[in-house]
């Protein structure tokens, strides 16, 4: 029997009401989070600064093969584009963008711009080449020809220590290769932190979920206490503990291990990150353990299983979703950790988030920062899939 019009209308109104309730939250997520992040990540492949500001030069080089002799029309096109840019911000944007592809390009562009804007005597070729002899080299022109499109893979490849030139994609020189090592360090340290938190957090979560003593109630407050303290304050506390003459060094000296400071070491970073991440692991496992009936374990023991076997065959498998959730949360959060490694670690202990912040705030190279962020998201997604498959959820 077909539903009545009144019933259909009531369902429609209810659906509209639900949509109106969630619409502000959806708009907030889109406008405040999704769209800004998307625009930032787009900078990894954005090449508009070259494509939009050197249109004449790009058009003149469209039929140039890269090894053919350069003609006067190529220099005229470049001179016209540089005159159109003037001495404004767009000129410096183009110079900076091209300098990422070849060292010395910024100086060559600025000198050529100054030369053609002075309207000196001679052809455009003479003015540009006398301004900077680098323009006599075909390599500097091949960069413009290669970066003619509105999009470029240059920064995405560079974030994995790959370079692109007229011969294709190749590995960067060992002296400039850096980011593969940093990504490897970031991934294995995140997995190490997750494993350590699981080992340390599981017994405490088991105690919290299965004990009725007053100590268990106090312990849950101790787990929650770090969330009420600033991350910066907690990290500064570790600096006091690890510094030369601090608590750790004094204790090690009394125990005969020497008085070496742990500050600015890999060990300090790992300990500090475990301290921050451990509550996330404990609460994830505890939430699942609270839903496991104790009667299951008692039933296994009553059927002849030892307490250890009952735990391993009955209780532990039921708590695995909590371990999987905790590992996923801790691993993904650790991938983007910045403050603790920056304050407690040496330059060789920094994770990829340090370089993202460095390119964003110090060098103002948003293209490279976005490219590193894209690969960080890719690795986080891959780890999420792996943990999800292993955890069975």
What is the secondary structure of 322-342 as a DSSP string? HHHHHHHHHHHHHHT--HHHH
Helix or strand holding residue 278 (H, E): helix 266-289
Strands 162-165 and 168-171: antiparallel
pLDDT, tens digit, 9 for 90 and up, residues 77-107: 999 999 999 988 999 999 999 999 888 999 9
Contact between residue 238 and residue 271 where contact means Cβ atoms under 8 Å apart: yes
Q: Where are the beta strands (DSSP E) in 181-304?
A: none
Structural domains of the chain sorted by starting position, each given as residue range(s) with its CATH number in brackets: 52-146 (no CATH), 181-391 (1.10.3720.10)
Question: Average pLDDT of 272-295?
Answer: 92
364: pLDDT confidence band, cut at 50, 70 and 90? Answer: confident
Chain CA centroid to CA 139, Å? 33
CA dihedral of 363, 56, 132, 68, whole degrees rounded to 10: 120
For 174-178, 184-188, 308-312, which range has the lowest pLDDT when averaged over its residues? 174-178
Per-residue pLDDT at 286:
94
Per-residue pLDDT at 368:
94
Write down the pTM of the prediction: 0.87
Please determine, for residue 23, whether its predicted confidence score (pLDDT) is greater than 90: no
Please determine, for residue 124, whether its predicted confidence score (pLDDT) is greater than 60: yes
Contact between residue 206 and residue 326 where contact means Cβ atoms under 8 Å apart: no
Please determine, for residue 76, whether its predicted confidence score (pLDDT) is greater than 90: yes
Tokens of 218: 């106090």
């Amino acid at each position: 029997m077909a539903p009545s019009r009144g019933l259909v209308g009531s369902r429609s109104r209810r659906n509209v009401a639900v949509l109106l309730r969630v619409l502000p939250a959806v708009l907030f997520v889109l406008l405040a989070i999704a769209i800004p992040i998307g625009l930032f990540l787009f900078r990894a492949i954005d090449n508009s600064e070259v494509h939009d500001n050197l249109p004449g030069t790009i058009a003149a080089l469209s039929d140039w093969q890269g090894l053919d002799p350069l003609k006067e029309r190529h220099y005229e096109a470049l001179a016209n584009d540089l005159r159109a840019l003037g001495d404004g911000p767009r000129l410096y944007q183009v110079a900076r963008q091209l300098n990422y592809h070849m060292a010395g390009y910024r100086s060559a562009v600025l000198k050529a711009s100054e030369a053609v804007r002075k309207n000196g005597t001679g052809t455009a070729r003479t003015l540009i080449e006398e301004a900077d002899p680098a323009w006599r080299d075909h390599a500097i022109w091949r960069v413009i020809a290669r970066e003619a499109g509105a999009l470029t893979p240059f920064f995405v490849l560079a974030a994995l220590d790959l370079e692109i030139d007229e011969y294709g994609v190749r590995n960067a020189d060992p002296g400039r290769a850096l980011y593969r090592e940093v990504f490897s360090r970031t991934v294995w340290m995140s997995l190490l932190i997750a494993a350590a938190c699981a080992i340390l957090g599981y017994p405490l979560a088991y105690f919290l979920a299965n004990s009725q003593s007053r100590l268990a109630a106090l312990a849950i407050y101790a787990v929650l206490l770090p969330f009420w303290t600033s991350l910066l304050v907690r990290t500064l506390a570790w600096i006091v503990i690890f510094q030369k003459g601090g608590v750790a060094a004094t204790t090690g000296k009394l125990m005969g291990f020497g008085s070496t400071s742990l500050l600015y070491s890999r060990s300090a970073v790992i300990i500090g990150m475990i301290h921050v991440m451990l509550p996330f692991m404990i609460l994830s496992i505890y939430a699942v353990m609270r839903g496991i009936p104790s009667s299951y374990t008692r039933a296994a023991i009553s059927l002849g299983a030892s307490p250890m076997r009952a735990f391993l065959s009955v209780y532990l498998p039921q708590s695995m979703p909590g371990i999987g959730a905790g590992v996923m949360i801790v691993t993904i959060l650790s991938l983007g950790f910045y403050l603790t490694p920056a304050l407690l670690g040496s330059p060789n202990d920094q994770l990829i988030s340090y370089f993202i912040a460095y390119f964003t705030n110090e060098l103002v190279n948003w293209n490279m920062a976005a490219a590193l962020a894209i690969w960080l998201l890719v690795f986080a997604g891959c780890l999420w899939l792996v943990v999800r498959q292993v955890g069975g959820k």
